[in-house]
A and B are shown apart, each in its own frame.
Chain A
Amino acid sequence: MGGAIILTTPIIKTKTQKKENYCKMNAIISLCHFCESHGPSILFCTQAFHQSQDAQLLHDSAPPGDYRGHTNSVDPLTQNLSAIVHQPPTDQCDACRSLSPGQPGFISYDESTQITYISCQHPEQQQLYSILRQACVRSLNCEVCPGREGPIVFGEDSSCHTLSHTFNLCDRQARGFSRLYSFIIVMRDRMFLVNSWPFLVKHLRSLIDNLQKKAEKTYSLESDEHKLTSSSRLLPSHGGRRLLPNQTYRSLVDLTGDKDIYVYLHKYFIYLIKTGGRRMMECIVEGPPQAMAVTDSFKMLSDQELIEKLDKSLPSAEFRVLQLEDQPIFNSLRHFVSILGSEDFPELAYHIMRGDQLIVRGNDPSTVMSVLNILKELVPESICRIIGFSSTYQESFVAEFLGLSVGVNLPRHIVDSELHVLLDILPPLKRYYSKSAGDQPNSVLGGADIVEPLEKYKLMVYSAQPCLHDQKYPVIIRRLMALLTGDGISDQMVSRGILALKEEWMNKVKILYKFSQVYPKDSLENDEKLNKLVKEVLFVTPEDMPILLHWRSALRKDYRAHLLQK
């Protein structure tokens, strides 16, 4: 049923709106009055019709008549509208009527957004009318606002939420010289309503102030007149006295002395609906943008893929023989460290973390791959490109992690450069294991290719110049070593710990990045600030700086923009 057109359409419409993610404020704003004779009534209400999806609905729900006419028209009073105006109850007096009989209402069309705003006394849809009517009664007669005048929000999720602002206008002819009115804003979306509270209340207040000023002016004029005409009487002309049977209370127009008061209200309500929607930007919140890119330069390859890849890259038939399932592989970082030895590892880790090229040489691809896979845990994923096993040297800008087969020589400039670290996986001497081959007859496989446990392998780390001196390890390395050499820590705990450690350092990277944007490194003063930051905020040593600087490249471009925005 199309009764509550406005209210049933969801307020959030991000997908249909192209660039402007402004919310639509699907609300009805209404002026209500507590009439002394007839009780609470709706005086005037304004609602928005969104042409795109509502025009049809409006057409369907409304009684027969051409409605496309009014949505295209800017003319305030078209004849078409009169058909949809709710027939007012018969027992209405001037006080509970806004528009004179026969005057259908006001209509405004916003070309830029294709929204039609219609103001009339009652909403024409029955369902909407009853919702509004109930909100009106609650606002005026049930809900108590401390201090009598003031805003309150009430409502249920099952129906609608209402922001109500009651106020009094002075009237010489009314009981107690005061008449009770209220503005109500009815919405389905509670969050939207509550979030709009400051905006709405501010504007309702100024609207009310305006009305009250006008009413006071009329009041004081009448008081003066009254003093002139009947100076002897202490009592007011009507205040408190019974009205004559045919006399009714005055309308808002008479009260404020402004015959265009409803035009003014119409405009103001439109402003509230339109601006109320525009002041809320909507964006899909899925957390902040991802800090680090997920690169596809390296994907975890399954064993099958690995073999296929290797098939292509390795033409020699000898290597096939080596692709036997039982080649020794490193299965965890702890495992690797236990074979490498905890003295050499910090040096290696530091090189890796600060972005030097890691070259692993070995004669078995899966062993080499397992080393690379384990060591890549130490750096953010996005800044670690891996070439698993290659027969020629690749430059560091192609791959930070490079696996090579044994006899590949490194170019001279690489050997001399301290921006690389070389790890050689040396198998045990042949003599040694041919001797033991006799003890293991079952494992004989083409003589030379007996699987040896990794413990018998030797790992050699070589770098042009050792970069860690005198145990002055960076903080991250110390933390890493504590994790790896600690007792009773399982492999899973180690990898979790490393993950957390990386996150922690990435956060430091973000701070550093933002800092460096705010204070570019161009003056001594800023350098001092940076040192202070490093020491007192990030809690790292200067040795950590190369790592932090390198990891900065792991931040995605859009994330950097996001950081700077904030």
Chain B
Amino acid sequence: MSLPTAHAQNVYGSSDHWMGSKLSAREQELRSIVTMSLNGDPSGSYHEVDSFPEGYNYGDEDEVIGAVGGVENKPRILLMGLRRSGKSSIQKVVFHKLSPNETLFLESTSKVVKDDINNSSFVQFQVWDFPGQIDFFDPTFDSEQIFGSCGSLIFVIDAQDDYRQALIRLHQTLTKAFQVNQNIKFEVFIHKVDGLSDDRKWEAQRDIQTKATCDLADAGLDGLLRPSFYLTSIYDHSIFEAFSRVVQKLIPQLPTLENLLNILVSNCGLEKAFLFDVVSKIYIATDSSPVDMLSYELCCDMIDVVIDVSCIYGDDVEACAYDQQSASIIKLSNGVILYLREVNRFLALVCLIREEVFERQGLIEYNFHCFRESIQQVFEVRRKTQGPLTSLGSYSDDN
């Protein structure tokens, strides 16, 4: 592998409109709001778990361009499952950068933890982490309140454990939640598969999938309710991949984004292209070719490399590690090039390109430019339809 040529010009104190001293007051305010909401959180220890470089946040909510889901319809993702199945770990690892090893020391969740992925990520939604010990379909709880405006329900099953109990609970949860709200997208995470051999992984998935669908068929819901199954683990990228798919279902612009990516891929001869949410490393769209886990991991790691290099070698400590100038090319020894370009503050395009194709770099640059314009147009539409309520900043004007 050749040396990465990461460009980090942005950090040289170009005090543009979204970082630096100009916004500090507003930012302070915003941060205090964030801290407050975290303090209200019963198990909110994650604001202490700050493995994220200081200053590497998204700044003003007002400036979020095309953030998916506004204040008015923020999708909700529920994390349910038996106790100790790994719900809190997933939430902390994906959204709070908790090291997977540290999840061992998490306390058991006693209250519903509502985590607002509002101004810390491009994709705006809430993640509700439920304690597994409590049956929330008990009449004392307001199930309409819980499941009424919920977008997705993720049911986590511990694959290392005996999952018969979990399957019973899964069936109950699915049917009851479906009664309350028929628009919920049901996802099943077969979790903690890192400890299983590949054979047992597939076996577990097949077993759980058949049993769950059989149960649903028995209840007469097989046609209406089709949960998706994922094999996940917090020790590799599978949890990010699975969460990407979950989040993608909640993004209304997904077909347009996929189409744009397809056009880009076919016109530039790219191998694979991902549109990443930089902070969470969730990809919000990709082209239609199948996702290879290895390439996804590569792309994730590339984002880490770029951010880390920017952080370490950027001379302005206050500045952010990722801005509109961020771009990077990494040549791999197998003749594949990793190519990262900033799309907007929260999104990055990461592509895998064959070396011989990359000789026409100018063409690719031009095409990328068109692609970026189109993406901005997509979110421009959304911005207009949202009206003045959430006046999103016009980042593109500053380019």
Given known contacts A34-B110, A176-B107, A39 and B42 CB-to-CB distance under 8 angstroms: no
Q: Is B33 an interface residue (CB 8 A)?
A: no
B67 → A minimal CB distance (Å) = 27
Asked if residues B111 and A144 are in contact (CB atoms below 8 Å), the reply is: yes
Among listed A133-141, A433-441, A454-462, interface-contacting one: A133-141
Query: In the complex where A36-B83, A39-B134 touch, is A134 in contact with B140 (Cβ < 8 A)?
Result: yes
Q: A175 is contacted by which of B42, B106, B111 (Cβ under 8 Å)?
A: B106
A235 CB–B CB distance under 8 Å: yes
Residues of B within 8 A of A40 (CB): 110, 133-134
- How many residues belonging to B are interface residues under a CB distance threshold of 8 Å? 19
Enumerate B123-162 residues with CB–CB distance to A below 8 Å. 131, 133-134, 140
Q: Given that A142-B111, A148-B42 are known contacts, is A35 also in contact with B105, CB under 8 Å in the complex?
A: no
Which residues of chain A in 85-99 are interfacial with respect to chain B, using CB atoms and an 8 Å cutoff?
Answer: none
The answer to whether B40 touches A240 (Cβ under 8 A) is: no
| Chain B residues whose CB sits within 8 angstroms of the CB of A145 once the complex forms | 42
Interface residues of A in 105-124 (CB under 8 A from B): none
Which residues of chain A are near B107, meaning CB under 8 Å?
174-178, 180
CB of B234, distance to nearest CB on chain A (Å) = 13
Q: Does B9 contact A (CB under 8 A)?
A: no
Inter-subunit contact B140/A137 (CB<8 Å): yes
Q: Across the two chains, which residue of chain B brings its CB closest to A175?
A: B108
- Which of B41, B83, B133, B140 has the most C-beta atoms of chain A within 10 angstroms of its own C-beta? B133
**A159 → chain B closest CB, angstroms:** 11
Interface residues of A in 476-494 (CB under 8 A from B): none
Task: State whether the Cβ of A288 lies closer than 8 Å to any Cβ in chain B.
Answer: no
Residues from chain A with Cβ under 8 Å of B389 in the complex: none
Collect the chain B residues with CB atoms within 8 Å of residue A177's CB. Answer: 105, 107
Give the distance in Å from the alpha carbon of A38 to the alpha carbon of B83 in the complex: 9
Which DSSP category, helix, strand, loop or mixed, fits chain B's interface?
A: loop
As a 0/1 sequence over residues 3 to 37 of chain A, the CB contacts with chain B under 8 angstroms (1 = contact) are 00000000000000000000000000000001111
Q: Knowing A35-B133, A40-B134, A134-B140 touch, does A140 contact B110 (C-beta < 8 A)?
A: yes
Does B43 count as interface, using CB distance less than 8 angstroms?
yes
Complex Cα spacing A38 to B110, Å:
11
A241 to B84, CA, bound (A): 10
Given that A36-B83, A148-B43 are known contacts, is A235 also in contact with B111, CB under 8 Å in the complex? no
- Which A226-258 residues sit within 8 Å CB-CB of chain B? 235, 239-242
The answer to whether B104 has its CB under 8 Å from any CB of chain A is yes
When C-beta atoms are compared, the residue in chain A nearest to B132 turns out to be A39
28 of the cross-chain contacts (CB-CB < 8 Å) are A35-B133, A36-B84, A36-B133, A37-B83, A37-B133, A38-B133, A39-B131, A140-B110, A140-B111, A141-B131, A141-B134, A142-B111, A144-B41, A144-B111, A146-B40, A147-B39, A148-B42, A176-B106, A176-B107, A177-B107, A178-B107, A180-B107, A180-B110, A235-B104, A239-B105, A240-B104, A240-B106, A241-B104
Closest 7 CB pairs of A and B: A176-B107, A39-B133, A240-B104, A34-B110, A175-B108, A36-B108, A178-B107
Further 4 A-B residue pairs, CB within 8 A, beyond A39-B131, A39-B133: A36-B84, A141-B112, A142-B111, A148-B43
| Residues of B bordering A, CB below 8 Å | 39-43, 83-84, 104-108, 110-112, 131, 133-134, 140
